[in-house]
Structure 1
């Protein structure tokens, strides 16, 4: 059934039990947030303000990663990228910068499906060449949001609109007539080669593969030459690869 545009269509969906220990984690409610002016993504434009506060649902996210500093090539900066959504039609890419431990703490705390409040984040124009979305979600807004550990903050949000925002994780971001079925892809595989398509599927099963990789050691010989040695003994490094199996569903009516 196609989405009618009413959130009541998703009343049967409930948030999965979150087993993470958040007893010591800080969250804010409407009273905590009364001195802040939150703005909806649809009301933001590049001439509005450079610093904003936004509440929304984490729609997708990446793990922490390091980026070489442009100012000092010998240092690294760490970044946490995620996509925030506050309505069926509007969502934006967000980047948080900081030191390694700070960014890793953020990625450990915040996950897909969390409702959060972003404070003092900067509105930035997206590059016109599309480079900003080369490895990120394509978004319908002409800007992105950027925060740093020194000036910005991200916290869980428990305000009155939390329940409405939680339901956004069940609302497709694409039009109901813009999806392929697995059957269509199988039948038209050659014609779709190299194309990007949208799928609306149910994840039926996940598989985790564990690859054991020998530890690489540096061995110095008598001539003080360093040799890289990959042995089968000693500590093993574990590489995880996750695969997904999807269940085909009927085309949207």
Structure 2
């Protein structure tokens, strides 16, 4: 890119006019798109041109789209040199009136300026050598009203109606997938990363990110602590995930921890929200009706058939409950299988010291019980001589079998297990192997009335949780058990 020796006039985005020439605009890049190259049909020899689009902001209210046309080499070099968050100077651009119905507008971010800027060989983009602080703060301002975001629950519930449409999503990071390399149809290697977010309404939405700049930004995102506002992501059905997902597009602008009341409320909720799979399951189980009200009797085959139907038809059903009369064919209380989980919780402790408030926080871990001690050497259990007792829970996997089939890896945990075994988790942890062996034969190979909840979380195999378990009498079994 080349610049002339003429005196440049510094102009704000708000004051642009199509008649202006030799102008300079300072702003911060808030989004960019992947550059493209194409053959120049006006030359006899093989020459490739390039085009690169990005979005610039110089105030909370003003942002504009910019297109840079040049040789493919120059365009790709500029794309590699300048990134989202860079404060730059745009030198000698051409000011163009936007055509709202123009075909290209649907592939670019929404902006407030009625103009767009075009750069060519007579223009330049250079790093700003002044104080960047007045521009860096603009990264906290969203480009669309936050209040217009679509709750994640509506993505899942209305997915068929909004499929392939563009929506805005506000969520807190739940997890970050690994970065994968995918070969495109043109043999170009592309990177993709899946980010999982949640909000007040739903525990998970997966968002596919194909933009290298946004992938780079995601390295600094922290589960529970980073809220992200995605504008104009496209809603798609994923056969692999067996759920609706969102995809970042060329129209998307990503704002990290934007300012706004909705964001503050969501981050406050995220501090204690269940985000691990079994935390979510436990949260959902608490909202289910009293197990005694479950009277829909199903055989193991009927349960499995319903699971298969939900998975194969992409049904919106996220859970169902059933009463089975089945044998407990695996209940390893005294062997090598895990029977207990331990969680070290350190709640917020506030200490007033010389007028200052000191805050201590800790997360929690899920580890096997071993002699009543946490095996994680990095898990803090004492703060300022305050000893925190662990929370111990029964967490057992059982198998249920009847004449039609077997359900494996059923989750039998928490208070349900304590009631069935008639002992607390702490009492169980102090039992001898002989006592545990005697306890397991209370149900092992016995016909039981087992009420279960089948819950679907994303693509994975559904979680089957036991809601109640008791020995069944022969009359009850004979009168209610389905026969095949």
Normalised by the length of structure 1, the TM-score is 0.67
1:36-47 superposed matches below 5 A: 36-46=8-18
**Structure 2 counterpart of 1:147:** 119
Question: Of residues 37, 55, 69 in structure 1, which corresponds to 2:26?
Answer: 55
SS in 1 for 2:160: coil
1:185-219 Cα shifts (integer Å, max 9, x gaps): 22332343343211123454143223479xxxxxx
Please, which moves more after superposition, 50-59 or 103-112?
50-59
Deviation, 1:183, is 1.9
**Structure 2 counterpart of 1:127:** 99
Alpha-carbon distance in structure 2 between the residues aligned to 1:69 and 1:248? 46
Alpha-carbon distance in structure 1 between the residues aligned to 2:127 and 2:27? 10
**Residues 209 and 43 (structure 1), Cα distance of their counterparts in 2 relative to 1, 3 Å cut:** same
1:87-124 Cα shifts (integer Å, max 9, x gaps): 12211111112222222221111011100001111101
1:137-180 Cα shifts (integer Å, max 9, x gaps): 1222221101113x1111111323x2121121221111132111
Please, which moves more after superposition, 49-58 or 189-198?
189-198
**Structure 1 counterpart of 2:189:** 239
**Residues 93 and 211 (structure 1), Cα distance of their counterparts in 2 relative to 1, 3 Å cut:** closer
**Structure 2 counterpart of 1:21:** none
Deviation, 1:76, is 2.7
**Structure 2 counterpart of 1:97:** 69
Question: Of residues 109, 125, 129 in structure 2, which corresponds to 1:158?
Answer: 129
Equivalent pair of 1:205/1:246 in contact (CA under 8 Å): yes
Alpha-carbon distance in structure 2 between the residues aligned to 1:108 and 1:175? 31
**Structure 1 counterpart of 2:354:** none
**Structure 1 counterpart of 2:35:** 64
Alpha-carbon distance in structure 2 between the residues aligned to 1:173 and 1:54? 19
Equivalent pair of 2:9/2:22 in contact (CA under 8 Å): no
Alpha-carbon distance in structure 2 between the residues aligned to 1:71 and 1:250? 55
Equivalent pair of 1:116/1:157 in contact (CA under 8 Å): yes
Alpha-carbon distance in structure 1 between the residues aligned to 2:104 and 2:22? 20
Count of residues in Structure 1 that have an aligned counterpart in Structure 2: 194
Structure scoring higher RCO (CA < 8 A, sep ≥ 6) equals 1
SS in 1 for 2:165: coil
Structure 1: unaligned runs, 5 residues or longer: 1-34, 214-236
**Residues 212 and 37 (structure 1), Cα distance of their counterparts in 2 relative to 1, 3 Å cut:** closer
SS in 2 for 1:197: strand
Which structure has the larger Rg? 2
SS in 1 for 2:155: helix
Deviation, 1:75, is 3.5
1:69-90 Cα shifts (integer Å, max 9, x gaps): 3634854311221111111221
State the Cα RMSD in Å. 2.7
**Higher fraction of helix:** 2
Question: Of residues 183, 198, 208 in structure 2, which corresponds to 1:248?
Answer: 198
Equivalent pair of 1:59/1:84 in contact (CA under 8 Å): yes
